[in-house]
Amino acid sequence: MSLTITKGEGINISKAAQDAGAPLHKLVAGAGWDAAAEGRSIDLDLLTVYLDQDGKAIPDENSNGTNADEAVCAFFNKDPKGAHHTGDNLTGDGDGDDEQIVVTLADVPANVKEVAVVIASYSGQTFGEVKNAFVRMVNVDGNTELVKYDLTDNYSSTRAVEMGRLVRNGSEWDFKATGESRDGDFKGVLSGYGVTGVN
């Protein structure tokens, strides 16, 4: 049974998966949204960023920087070890998830302490032009939705929102709904985490 949480709340999703009948090895971070004005196309992007204990992008596997091309974050056409973006939605049309990132937890590098899950405006609109934005976590085994966070606060002046974070908890994982506004354009949002080399 899925749990709907509010900003600031969190759950142990590894335990939630076990309670639902299947251990958590691989999960889908799914996000959806609608354009606030009928007929408008809103190109938002779902992305994840691998973070260290200080909330900054981890160095790449060669430990020589945090370049996006060296795979510290996942978005369309860029996949770090352990995460795969399934495809870009340019409009927000349709029901259900508009974009998904599949995370294979055992493959996430050990130096990753948190995984930020962000919805960012690629086309430049603010969230004042977006409605019904959500993020949910689904256990691939059994296709079971474990937790969902609906964005209800007013983010009318921002172009990106950190919806939540996957937090490593020993051998398990938690999900916390952060609902944190992030400033800047797409490149600026990633730069705010310390990611470099974003085209």
Domain ranges of the chain: 3-192
pLDDT of residue 38: 66
| Strand order through the sheet with 144-150 | 3-5, 144-150, 130-139, 26-35, 99-104, 83-85
pLDDT of residue 39: 62
pLDDT of residue 89: 47
Q: Who's near 18: CB < 8 A, 6+ residues apart? A: 24
Torsion on CA atoms 106, 194, 78, 115, rounded to nearest 10 = 30
pLDDT of residue 9: 95
pLDDT of residue 136: 94
pLDDT of residue 92: 43
Per-residue pLDDT for the chain (199 aa), expressed as one digit of tens each? 689 999 999 999 999 999 999 999 999 999 988 876 666 666 788 889 999 989 988 876 655 566 565 557 777 667 788 898 886 544 444 457 888 999 999 999 898 999 999 988 877 778 888 888 899 999 999 999 999 999 888 788 888 999 999 999 999 999 999 999 987 777 888 888 888 777 6
pLDDT of residue 90: 41
Supply the pTM of this predicted model: 0.88
Q: Who's near 30: CB < 8 A, 6+ residues apart? A: 46, 96, 97, 99, 100, 135, 136, 137, 138
Matching CATH number, 3-192, of 3.40.50.150, 2.60.60.30, 3.30.70.20, 2.40.70.10 = 2.60.60.30
pLDDT of residue 93: 47
